Chain A
């Protein structure tokens, strides 16, 4: 089944304890992106990647890092999480090419930073 898989789905952590949220897609998509969803703010883009080793900042990149060493994986790294990073996170992917315009989303990762 074509899908985007995120792990963990739920995580409670403490301020300053480094964590990684993994994202993997099995559709050979070039484009991958991370969003955070907050009430009243909708989805905001954190980082995106157009292909392997090509990443760029979205609208709210502060406090996050990403890497794209393989086409299928796009982990989101929080080096020193803070309570304002408590949120629902989504990974999404998309093929690049004519007619390709529908993002496929993962199921989400709910992160709580105490």
Chain B
């Protein structure tokens, strides 16, 4: 069965420091992997995805993520955090088998401190 784990409920980081939000997954075959961000009173917004190719993918707002097949991870990173990055982040996985089943993690709240 497909699953996604976000082991940290909350991540605190000082403004200007690098940030990492962790995600590990379990899916058969080569997965499609996604990161979404949710700001207060807003829907989920797409940040970036990994489908195939280069393991390091770049997305919106300076975020990037690294796909690591051996560790089944897809951690979200940013070199220098901004206070405005404070939000709820969701990792999601989809098996590329032709279904459109997306499995979401439980979310990680990122708090960037000024």
Contact = CB atoms under 8 A, between A and B. Distances in A.
Contacts of B104: 35, 42-44
Interface residues of A, number: 24
Contacts of B51: 101
Contacts of A105: 36, 43-45
A14 to B, nearest CB: 24
A75 interface: no
B41 A42 contact: no
Interface residues of B, number: 23
A102 B100 contact: no
B67 interface: no
B106 A41 contact: yes
Nearest to A100: B100
Q: Secondary structure at chain A's binding surface: helix, strand, loop or mixed?
A: strand
A42 B90 contact: yes
A35 B43 CA distance: 11
Interface string B20-52: 000000000000101010000111111001010
Q: Indicate the member of B32, B43, B100, B101 with the most A CB atoms within 10 Å.
A: B43
A96 B44 contact: no
B90 A102 contact: no
Contacts of A33: 100, 102
A102 B44 contact: no
Nearest to B94: A101
B58 to A, nearest CB: 15
Contacts of A81: none
A108 B106 contact: no
Interface of A: 4, 31, 33, 35, 40-45, 48, 50, 90, 92, 94, 96, 101-108
11 contacts: A33-B100, A40-B9, A42-B90, A42-B106, A48-B100, A90-B43, A90-B44, A94-B100, A101-B51, A102-B46, A106-B43
